[in-house]
C-alpha cells in the first residue's frame, strides 16, 4: 500500500474497446488521464489522431455527447529502434519532437524499460534533442493532467472595451501561483511602452509574443479568487 492514487493508464498493445466505452471505463475507475491512443502496428506512427495537444474526448449520442472526464495524451511512436538504423530513427523521432514543440503540444515517445539496454543510444540522443529546445520540458502524465485541468479552470468575465482601455476579470477554480495570460492585440494596434497592465490594481510586467502570425500581450500573475485586470494606454505628458 503506497496511498498514492492511480491517475494515468496506458493499455497493453494500445488496445481500446469501441469508440468511447473504454473512456467510460477509465472514468468509472477514477483514472483521470489515458495514453492509449497511438500506433499499435509496425510502421504505423506519427500524429494519427490529428494533434499533439491533450484533449477531453466527447461521448457518443446515446450519452448526450458529453465531454468525458478523462484527458487523452496521444502517442506518436513506440520502439522505433527495431530494424531501423539509429540515424534514420533519430531523424523521425526528432521531427516528431520538433513538430509538437512548434505547435506548443506534447510529444509522446514510448520506450519499454525491458528494452532499454538495446535502445539506450536512441533514447539518450532523443533526450538530448529535447533538452536542446528552449522551454521544452519533460513532464509526467500527472503533471500534464494537473496543468491542463488547471488551465481549463481559468475564466475571463465581464469584458469591457473602450477606446483606450480594456477591463475584465479573471478567476480560477483553484488558486494558482503562476498563470500566464495572453491577450490578442487587435489588428492595427502596436503595443508600446506607454501601455500599462494592472492586476488587482498593481502594475505587472508584460511582453509581446507572436503565435501563428497573431500578436499577443503576455503577462504572468497569481490568481486567487476573482481579480480585475486593466490594460490601459497611458496619456503621454
Average pLDDT of every residue of the chain = 91
For residues 76 and 47, what is the distance between their CA atoms, to the nearest angstrom? 6
List the chain domain ranges: 8-146, 153-233
**Average pLDDT of the segment spanning 217-236:** 86
Domain covering 153-233 assigned CATH 3.40.250.10 in the classification? no
CATH topology of domain 8-146: TIM Barrel (3.20.20)
**Average pLDDT of the segment spanning 186-211:** 84
- Does residue 237 surpass a pLDDT of 50? no
pLDDT at 141: 96
**Average pLDDT of the segment spanning 142-165:** 92
pLDDT at 2: 81
The CA distances from residue 216 to 37, 61, 181, 190, 212, in Å, are 33, 38, 10, 10, 10
Sign of torsion, CA 14 20 24 27?
Answer: positive
- Does residue 161 surpass a pLDDT of 90? no
pLDDT at 152: 95
For residues 197 and 217, what is the distance between their CA atoms, to the nearest angstrom? 10
pLDDT at 234: 59
- Does residue 236 surpass a pLDDT of 80? no
For residues 212 and 99, what is the distance between their CA atoms, to the nearest angstrom? 13
Cell 495570460 sits on residue: 181
pLDDT at 42: 73
Structure pTM?
Answer: 0.89
What percentage of the chain reaches a pLDDT higher than 70?
96
The residue length of the chain stands at 237
**Average pLDDT of the segment spanning 220-224:** 95
What would the pLDDT profile of 103-131 be if each residue is shown by its tens digit? 999 999 999 999 999 999 999 999 999 99
Is 203 buried (19+), middle (13-18) or exposed (0-12) by CB count in 10 A? exposed
CB 196 within 8 A of CB 203: yes
For residues 189 and 121, what is the distance between their CA atoms, to the nearest angstrom? 50
**Average pLDDT of the segment spanning 64-84:** 92
Burial 123-141 (b: 16+ CB within 10 A, else e): bebbeebbeeeeeeeeeeb
pLDDT at 126: 96
pLDDT band at 233 (very low <50, low <70, confident <90, very high): low
Half-sphere exposure of 100 (CA within 13 A, CB side): 29
**Nearest alpha carbon to residue 167 among 205, 194, 197:** 197
Amino acid at each position: 500500500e503506497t496511498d498514492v492514487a492511480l491517475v494515468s493508464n496506458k493499455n497493453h498493445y494500445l488496445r481500446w474497446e469501441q469508440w468511447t466505452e473504454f473512456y467510460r471505463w477509465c472514468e468509472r475507475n477514477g483514472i483521470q488521464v489515458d495514453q492509449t491512443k497511438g500506433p499499435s502496428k509496425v510502421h504505423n506512427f506519427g500524429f494519427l489522431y490529428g494533434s499533439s495537444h491533450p484533449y477531453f474526448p466527447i461521448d457518443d449520442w446515446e450519452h448526450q455527447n458529453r465531454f468525458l472526464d478523462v484527458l487523452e495524451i496521444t502517442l506518436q511512436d513506440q520502439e522505433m529502434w527495431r530494424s531501423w538504423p539509429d540515424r534514420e530513427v533519430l531523424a523521425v523521432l526528432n521531427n516528431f519532437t520538433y513538430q509538437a514543440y512548434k505547435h506548443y503540444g506534447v510529444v509522446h515517445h514510448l520506450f519499454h524499460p525491458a528494452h532499454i539496454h538495446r535502445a539506450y543510444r536512441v533514447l539518450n540522443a532523443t533526450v538530448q534533442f529535447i533538452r536542446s529546445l528552449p522551454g521544452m520540458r519533460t513532464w509526467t502524465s500527472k503533471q500534464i493532467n494537473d496543468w491542463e485541468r488547471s488551465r481549463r479552470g481559468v475564466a475571463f468575465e465581464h469584458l469591457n472595451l473602450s477606446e483606450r482601455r480594456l477591463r475584465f476579470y479573471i478567476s480560477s477554480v483553484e488558486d494558482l501561483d503562476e498563470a500566464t495570460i495572453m491577450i490578442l492585440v487587435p489588428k492595427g494596434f502596436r503595443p508600446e511602452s506607454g501601455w500599462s497592465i494592472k492586476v488587482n490594481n498593481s502594475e505587472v510586467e508584460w511582453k509581446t509574443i507572436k503565435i501563428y502570425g497573431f500578436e499577443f500581450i503576455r503577462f504572468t500573475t497569481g490568481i486567487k479568487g476573482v481579480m480585475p485586470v486593466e490594460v490601459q494606454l497611458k496619456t503621454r505628458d
